Structure 1
Amino acid sequence: MTRRAWLPALAAALVCAAPALAEIAPNDVVFADGAVEASLTGTPGDPVAGAKVMTTNALGNCVACHQIAAMPEVEFPGDIAPALDGAADRYSEAQLRGIVIDAKHTFPDSFMPGMYKTSGFIRPGNGYTGKASEGEPPPILTAEQVEDVVAYLLTLKD
């Protein structure tokens, strides 16, 4: 085999053998003025999957609080949070990622839950419920689901 023939094959094998980018853990997310520049997964999100996360009760259920004109099929959309129409015109991808991960970094008075957060919660103690959870709770959304929601939000332009 000549050098020209095996060199591309070796390069392709090395690329395939390289480890996938590691997911950023919730406590390792770096915020800069509320924005999160780095993708949590290192891969682009899927806007179709993001729409499902936003409308599924057991997942993000964003439509419980937000209205989205692009989703007219949603029954009883919420109206207690800002409408998401034009979100991609108002915020960058990094800003949207930061808001989805933990909106309090951008809007300190927000009541939106941190979707990719596992620490910093105030919980009632055993004195109130007798059932206080131990340790860090899992995040509401996975890193991939956050990226999917961000990908969907980036489609919402005026």
Structure 2
Amino acid sequence: MKRIMTATAVSVFATMVVAADVSPDEVEYSEYGAIETSLTGAPGNPVFGKEIMVARGKGNCIACHQVTALEEYPFHGEVGPTLDGVAERWSEAELRGIVANAKMTYDGTIMPAFYKVSGFTRPGNAFTGKAAEGPLEPLLTAQEIEDVVAYLQTLSE
């Protein structure tokens, strides 16, 4: 009985390790910035992705991008390209890479890196020293990245 419980515990622990999110510093980008594998191992939820895209405290993608499918939400920006038809222009892996850290694909872009915690300078006094208070968190979690990618994949022309 003890041997069965130990084997079960090891099996559950191994599953937990395999299912862990890829940390921002361990993400593997292709030569052109794509991320081939899921950051979580779980599929994204497009309903949650849509919520993140319009939430001012989260992704707020519409602040810079125009999205016809989200026209009921006000204040679409014109800084970034339209996201209409984005599912036909980029693959899932490319979209994941762009959302996680667009600078890996488009050097010099002003799009924030939503899944990065090192290698940048936080501007202003409000952000100075935040790392000393604890580890920096990415703007979006790994699952939120997957959710946004799932929503973007619904945007075809």
Structure 1 residue runs of 4 or more that deviate by more than 3 Å after TM superposition: 128-131
Q: C-alpha displacement at 1:130, in angstroms?
A: 8.8
Q: C-alpha displacement at 1:122, in angstroms?
A: 2.1
Aligned to 1:40: 39
* Partners of 2:40 and 2:156 in 1: CA distance: 24
Q: C-alpha displacement at 1:83, in angstroms?
A: 0.5
Identify the match of residue 22 of structure 1 among 7, 15, 20. 20
* Partners of 2:126 and 2:73 in 1: CA distance: 38
- CA gap of 1:95–1:121, structure 2 versus 1, over 3 A, is same
Structure 1, unpaired ranges of 5+: 1-12
Q: C-alpha displacement at 1:139, in angstroms?
A: 0.3
Q: One-letter code of the match for 1:40?
A: L
Q: Aligned pair 1:133/2:129, yes or no? A: yes
> Alignment identity in percent?
47
Q: What aligned pairs does 1:91-102 form with structure 2 within 5 A after superposition? A: 91-102=90-101
Aligned to 1:31: 29
Q: C-alpha displacement at 1:19, in angstroms?
A: 1.7
Aligned residues: 142
Aligned to 2:4: none
Structure 2, unpaired ranges of 5+: 1-7
Aligned alpha-carbon RMSD (Å): 2.0
* Partners of 1:57 and 1:39 in 2: CA distance: 25
Which is higher, the Rg of structure 1 or of structure 2?
1
Q: One-letter code of the match for 1:133?
A: G
Q: One-letter code of the match for 2:58?
A: L
Aligned to 1:90: 89
- CA gap of 1:131–1:30, structure 2 versus 1, over 3 A, is closer
Aligned to 1:8: none
So what's the TM-score if we normalise by structure 2?
Answer: 0.84
* Partners of 1:75 and 1:35 in 2: CA distance: 30
